């Protein structure tokens, strides 16, 4: 996945400017992003502040780590079942 030019904190500041009344087209020109990108940011980070975005990223990392653990355990369980059945 391509790394963004903007940090999460910068994105939330841009979105805060939008909520304060700045026009979307004006902000997109000012920061050099497309309107499509701006709307994707608004959908993802809508009403979040900087600390909330940081917490969301931490939670996503934790979920990804836990999903890897569960996948590994499922594979080990499946292998154990095959050994018990005598297919190995």
pLDDT tens-place string over residues 75-85: 999 999 988 88
Q: Kindly state whether residue 54 falls inside one of the protein's structural domains.
A: yes
Q: Kindly state whether residue 28 falls inside one of the protein's structural domains.
A: yes
The parent domain of residue 75 ranges over 8-85
The pLDDT score that the predictor gives to residue 69 is 96
Q: Kindly state whether residue 3 falls inside one of the protein's structural domains.
A: no
Q: Is this structure's pTM higher than 0.75?
A: no
Asked whether 52 and 9 are in contact (CB, 8 A), the reply is: no
How far apart CA 29 and CA 41 sit, in angstroms, is 15
Q: Kindly state whether residue 47 falls inside one of the protein's structural domains.
A: yes
Q: Kindly state whether residue 77 falls inside one of the protein's structural domains.
A: yes
CB within 8 Å of 46: residues ≥ 6 apart: 15
Q: What is the pLDDT of residues 65-74, one digit of tens each?
A: 999 999 999 9
Q: What is the pLDDT of residues 5-50, one digit of tens each?
A: 888 888 888 888 888 888 889 999 999 999 999 999 888 887 766 6
Q: Kindly state whether residue 2 falls inside one of the protein's structural domains.
A: no
CB within 8 Å of 5: residues ≥ 6 apart: none
Number of domains in the chain: 1
What dihedral angle (degrees, nearest 10) is formed by the CA atoms of 59, 46, 48, 33?
90
């Amino acid at each position: 996945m391509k790394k963004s030019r903007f940090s999460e904190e910068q994105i939330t500041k841009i979105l805060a400017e939008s909520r304060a009344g700045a026009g979307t087209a004006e902000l997109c020109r000012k920061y050099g992003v497309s309107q499509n990108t701006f709307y994707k940011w608004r959908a993802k980070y809508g009403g979040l502040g900087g600390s909330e975005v940081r917490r969301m990223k931490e939670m996503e990392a934790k979920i990804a780590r836990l999903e890897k653990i569960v996948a590994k355990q499922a594979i080990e369980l499946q292998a154990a079942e095959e050994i018990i059945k005598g297919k190995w």
